[in-house]
Amino acid sequence: MLFSSAIFLFLYLPLFLFVYYLLPKNWHNAFLFAASLLFYAWGEGPVVLVLLGSALINYVAGQLIERGRRRAGLWLSLVGSLSLLFYYKYANFLFDSVRGFAEAFALPASDNLTLSQIALPIGISFYTFQGISYTLDIYWGRIKANRSFLDYGTYVAMFPHQIAGPIVRYADIAPELADRTTTFEKFGLGAERFIIGLAKKILLANTFAELADTVFNAPPDSYPMATAWLGIVAYTLQIYFDFSGYSDMAIGLGKMVGFDFKENFNYPYIARSIQDFWRRWHISLSSWFRDYVYIPLGGNRGGNVRTYRNLLIVFLVTGLWHGASWSFIVWGLYHGIFLLIERAGLGKWLERIWAPVAHVYTLLVVMAGWVFFRAETLTEGLAYLRKLIGLAPPLGENVAFPPVILLNTEVVAALLLGVVLSMPVYHWFQRGWDRVQSRLTSGFLKTTLDSLYAIGLFGLFIMAVMYLAADTYNPFIYFRF
């Protein structure tokens, strides 16, 4: 079940909120836990048991650490959680890689190597990392283990953030798990954030997705270089509005039931370096790797060689976290190499030069990396890159996808709006709106402006729903992670 599906918007969410607010406060966690399991079981069926198994492993591990069996608890968490993740996410990839190696060297065993495809449980990468961070924080003495499996299970299974993040750390919401307040104002802020995220997903990301998929799925000799650039621009905007839109919806849903999740994006496409980009993109993931992988490896202590090694390890794992294929591994190492280059001196130069040049550099590097993220195979990714720089083979006799065929009024408007909204325009608007609101403490004008803003949000929601009803094309990139 997706947040941007009709069944969630008009059946699951209204019923959930209605019952949630009818129940006494001390029943909220139990209901949220049960409703979250139903949310997963709706589309996943028995695979929801994987989530429960992961939660139970880390709950027991936390209790063991708390009671003095520190190493046993830590090993249970790491081995248990990572074993589940490896089996469900990486077993097929490892098997296919071994079989490919055997076939490449004509080994006789390659004919007998078979493995059924293993279904990937929704959100497994997210709840695995959350469970590991929970036990590590207990191990390092940062938090106390939760004695209630119900409360801990609510944290792990909570449907608002579990499909696509942000990666919520137990320490950040432990007080709210124990005691949280829900007010009309907070609910309204949550609803506002949810509507904005829904609009980003339906009105923008889905429009870009159709364009990007058309180009990336077409034979390379059926479109010119200009179309290749149009395709990667569309995908660059698609993945941002798709993922940040889902994060907005998650943060909004959290507020509706009393939780304050941290921000996950901070306008990454205005970054002036790749280092700056990773401070702004999927903040919960990059900070997780910093705190639980990079720093334990030694961080930037011990000289440049060890620092570079640690960075490459982190971005190798970052690539693998995103997907089980060589394309994702290359994408992760690609970003890691540019971070090494910036640490070696390019970063200081980027700080001194004219800002637009640094922005262009960052965007070009990021967009080239998205080619590998989007391509199904390394071969396809390299072929697409050759098309972008004009080194592809000549076009065929029939050019099926010149840019003029793919561009219409709706697509052009979406592209322009996407470029504008990927900059802090809404942030500037919100700051200006808050200043106006602070000066209008009461009176007819304040009431009128508040009403107009609420009507505008409602209109945005209706528009998103109309687009959702008119078009069944509703992909979600991070659904597989």
Point out the residues that are catalytic.
322
**Of 79, 84, 88, 82, which is closest to residue 53 (Cα–Cα)?**
84
**Of 251, 250, 244, which is closest to residue 267 (Cα–Cα)?**
244
- C-alpha to C-alpha distance for 219 and 119, rounded to whole angstroms: 29
Per the CB < 8 A criterion, the answer to whether 246 and 164 are in contact is: yes
In sequence order, what are the residues at sequence separation of 6 or more whose Cβ sits closer than 8 angstroms to the Cβ of residue 348?
A: none
Element (H, E) at 182: none
Residue positions counted in the chain: 481
**Under DSSP, is residue 62 helix (H, G, I), strand (E, B) or coil?**
helix
Q: Specify burial of residue 470 (Cβ count, 10 A radius: 0-12, 13-18, 19+).
A: exposed
Q: Maximum Cα–Cα distance for the chain, whole Å?
A: 83
333 φ, ψ to 5°?
A: -65, -35
Following DSSP, what letter does each residue of 152-167 receive, concatenated? HHHHHH-HHHHTT---
Following DSSP, what letter does each residue of 342-357 receive, concatenated? IIIIIHHHHHHS-HHH
**Of 210, 18, 52, which is closest to residue 123 (Cα–Cα)?**
52
Q: Cα 135 vs. chain centroid, distance in angstroms?
A: 23
b/e map 233-270, b = 16+ CB within 10 Å: bbbbbbbbbbbbbbbbbbbbbbbbbbbebbebbebbbb
**Of 79, 81, 78, 61, which is closest to residue 70 (Cα–Cα)?**
61
**Of 292, 277, 269, 266, which is closest to residue 339 (Cα–Cα)?**
277
95: tokens are 């098997």
Per the CB < 8 A criterion, the answer to whether 397 and 223 are in contact is: no
Phi/psi-derived region of residue 274, left when phi > 0, alpha when psi is between -120 and 50, beta in every other case = alpha
The CA-based angle 202-206-207, given to 5 degrees, is 110
